[in-house]
Amino acid sequence: MPKLDMPQGALALLILRVLRSGPLHGYAIAQRIHALSSDVLRVEEGALYPALQRILLKGWATAEWSTSETNRQVRSYRLTSAGRKQLELEMSAYERVTQAIQAVLRTA
């Protein structure tokens, strides 16, 4: 199965979603998305870090340095309450859109 690149916009949604269960650093975010999508979705460095910077700028997450299990200095991202709200918003919007698309696909 070929590895798919992430569509624009959806990436922010996925990042917010994986951060909901707890703070993660950049590489871990990419890994988590990769794993959860059964190795289908692959997040490249060139897309991940601009997206994270945008999220920081929007105030949906905060970042702080900590030491990882492998004793490395990593920067972890933590969802803010604004980020949670944004996630809810985007998820319900996503749901409505996918339902609508499926309805069309099924009946047309």
* Minimum gap (Å) between residue 67 Cβ and another protein: 11
Q: At what angle do helices 26-36 and 10-20 cross, to 10 degrees?
A: 100
Query: Is residue 45 close enough to count as binding another protein by CB under 8 A?
Result: yes
Query: Is residue 58 close enough to count as binding another protein by CB under 8 A?
Result: yes
Determine the straight-line distance between the first and last CA of the chain, rounded to whole angstroms.
28
Among 17, 37, 74, 84, binds another protein (CB under 8 A): 74
Query: Is residue 96 close enough to count as binding another protein by CB under 8 A?
Result: no
Looking at the Cβ atoms of 27 and 94, the one nearer to another protein is 27
Question: Rounded to an integer, what distance in angstroms lies between the CA atom of residue 72 and that of residue 103?
Answer: 48
